[in-house]
Amino acid sequence: MDPFLGQVISFARLVMESMVPFVLAAQGTMLAGRTGLFNVAQEGMMLVGASLGFLVAYQTGSQLTGILVAAGVGGGFALLLAYLTTTLKMNQFVIGIALFFSGVGISTLLPKLAIGVTLMQPLIPTLVDIPLPLVSRIPVLGPVMFSQNAMVYFSILISILLWWFLYKTKIGRDLRAVGENPMAADTMGINVTLVRYAATIAGGLLIGLAGVYLPLVYTGTFTEGMVRGRGFIAIALTFFGGWSPIPIFYGSLFFAAVEVLAYRLQVGASHIPYQFLQILPYIATILVMMFSFYKSPVPRFLGENYDREKRSQT
């Protein structure tokens, strides 16, 4: 095989593998945002998902249990977020920030409580690749897209599912209306509270999954701060993707590509100080945001809580 082609395939494979946390976290953010709830706690939620998911997988020996628990804790955080903002009407950013650093704190505390300080890093086996029958034999496309781990496939499927749900169904239309004009939705009989809770919790499940992917695929263990800003980058991604599932998917591929490129350069072009390459993904994020925030079709009531009886104030 042509060595250049080999390089390209291995690069593309890595990108597909790396886009998962971006996609899942961004879709989770998008889903909640579409109902008006601006989640800024992703970084903390992903850290807890990574930490708790890893610990559970380690203690039980089951990757699946770890994955489910991580999703669950993401959902739990999201439930708290939804309750404090939607029902108790607290400021979404303040609660998001509080949950963010709560997540940071809890994620470092848990390993200390469960495992304590050890000399050797506890490890769990990482996810295996599952080559799909037949299609994985297609040259180039096969190894890149069809010989990946289960969560890669899940990310692709969920993006398509979300697109269909939001744009091709009446129930999706109702959900989006909650973010565009919650008062209109309320007066037409849509249960705004229920929709916000449901979307936020569903989004939280995805964000928890995004978190546990990191130990489960990259390192096999949990280290403090391993999310490294991906939670916030996911927010940027959501804007970049115009709050729409398919563009978000493509945007995630782009970010993953920058991340992989930075990593490759660190290894390959060792004459460049690695610190400069480390900041590449963040610079890319900022550049991308410069071109997408102005025009991004943000849900009209993003970040605002809805109070049915507040009309009396005007």
Partner 1 sequence: MAEIVQTSADVLQMQGVYKSFGARYALNNASFNLEAREIHGLLGGNGAGKTTLMNILYGLYREDKGTIKLHGKQVEINSPKDAIARGIGMVHQHFLQVENYTVLENITLGLPGNNRFSADYRDETRVISSLIERFGLQVDLHARIEDLPMGTRQKVEILKALYRGVGILILDEPSTNLTPQEVDGLFKSLREMVNEGMSIVFITHKLQEVLDVCDRITVLRHGCHVLTLRRGEATEEAFIRAMVGEEMKIQESVLFADHARRSPVVASGQPPRLYVDSVDYKDAHGVEVLRNLTLDVHAGEILGIAGVAGNGQRELAEIIMQVYPPSSGKIYLDGRDITGMEANRLLSLGVSYIPEDRLHDGFLPKASVAHNLILGWHHQEPYSKRGFIDWAKVSREAVELIDRYNIVTNGPSEVGANLSGGNIQRVIIARGMGHLSTLLVAHNPTRGLDIPSMDAFYSLLLAKKEVRVGILLISENLDELILMCDRIAALYRGEIMGVIERSRFEKYEIGRMMSGVRTDT
Partner 2 sequence: MLEQTHRQARLRFNAPGVLRQTLPYAVALGIAFALAGIFIHLMGYDVLRAYQTILFTSFRSANSFVQTILKFIPVTLLALAFTVPFAAGKYNIGGEGQMIVGATGATVIGILLRDEPAILVLPLALVTGVLFGAIWGLIPAWLLLKFRIHEILTTTLFNFISYSIIDYIATEIWRDPVAGHPTTIPIGDSAWLPLVVRNPPLHSGIVLALLIAAAVWVYMTRTTGGYEMVATGANPEASKIFGIKTSRMFMLSLVIGGALAGLAGAVEVEGYQHRLIVGLQSNFLQLGLITGLIAKGNNFAVPFVAFFIAMLEVGASAMQRTMQIPVEFVFIVEALVLLCVLLSDVVRRREWIRSSVR
Q: List interacting residues with partner 1 (CB under 8 A).
A: 167-171, 173-174, 177, 180-181, 183-191, 300, 308-309, 311-314
Of the candidate residues 153, 165, 218, 232, the single one contacting partner 2 (CB under 8 A): 232
- The option from partner 1, partner 2, none interacting with 88 (CB < 5 to 8 A, set by class) reads partner 2
The values of phi and psi at residue 142, to 5°, are -55, -65
- The option from partner 2, partner 1, none interacting with 170 (CB < 5 to 8 A, set by class) reads partner 1
- The option from partner 1, partner 2, none interacting with 129 (CB < 5 to 8 A, set by class) reads none
Which CB sits closer to partner 1, 137 or 308? 308
Rounded Cα distance, 29 and 231, in Å: 10
- The option from partner 1, partner 2, none interacting with 177 (CB < 5 to 8 A, set by class) reads partner 1
- The option from partner 1, partner 2, none interacting with 173 (CB < 5 to 8 A, set by class) reads partner 1
Near partner 2 by CB under 8 A, which window of 66-74, 108-116, 124-132, 167-175?
108-116
Near partner 2 by CB under 8 A, which window of 11-19, 156-164, 248-256, 273-281?
273-281
92 is an interface residue for partner 2 by CB under 8 A: no
Which CB sits closer to partner 1, 4 or 294? 294
- Which residues form the interface with partner 2 (CB under 8 A)? 40, 43, 84, 87-90, 93-95, 97-98, 101-102, 104-106, 108-109, 112-113, 228-229, 232-233, 235-236, 273, 275-276, 278-279, 282-283, 285-286, 289-291, 293-294
